Amino acid sequence: MALADERGELLGLCACCAAAADGADARRFRFSGYVSADVDSAYISTSGGLSDTKPVAIQTIGFRQNLGDFGFLDGYVWSISALHDKQRERHGQLFYWTDGAVHYGYDLPLGEGLSLQTKAGPYCGIPVDYEREHNPSLGFIVAQRFDNPYVTPYWSGLWQ
In a domain, 11, yes or no: no
In a domain, 15, yes or no: no
In a domain, 92, yes or no: yes
Domain that holds residue 128: 31-159
- Distance from the first to the final alpha carbon of the chain: 55
**CA 134 – CA 128 distance, rounded (Å):** 8
In a domain, 78, yes or no: yes
Q: Using one digit for the tens of pLDDT, what is the confidence trace for 106-151?
A: 999 999 989 999 999 999 988 776 666 667 789 999 999 999 999 9
In a domain, 20, yes or no: no
In a domain, 57, yes or no: yes
Number of domains in the chain: 1
Question: In the beta sheet, which residues pair with residue 122?
Answer: 140
Per-residue pLDDT of the chain (160 residues; tens, 9 = 90+): 444 445 444 444 444 444 444 566 777 899 999 999 999 887 777 666 666 767 889 999 999 999 999 999 999 999 988 887 766 665 556 667 888 999 999 999 999 989 999 999 999 988 776 666 667 789 999 999 999 999 999 999 988 8
In a domain, 8, yes or no: no
In a domain, 10, yes or no: no
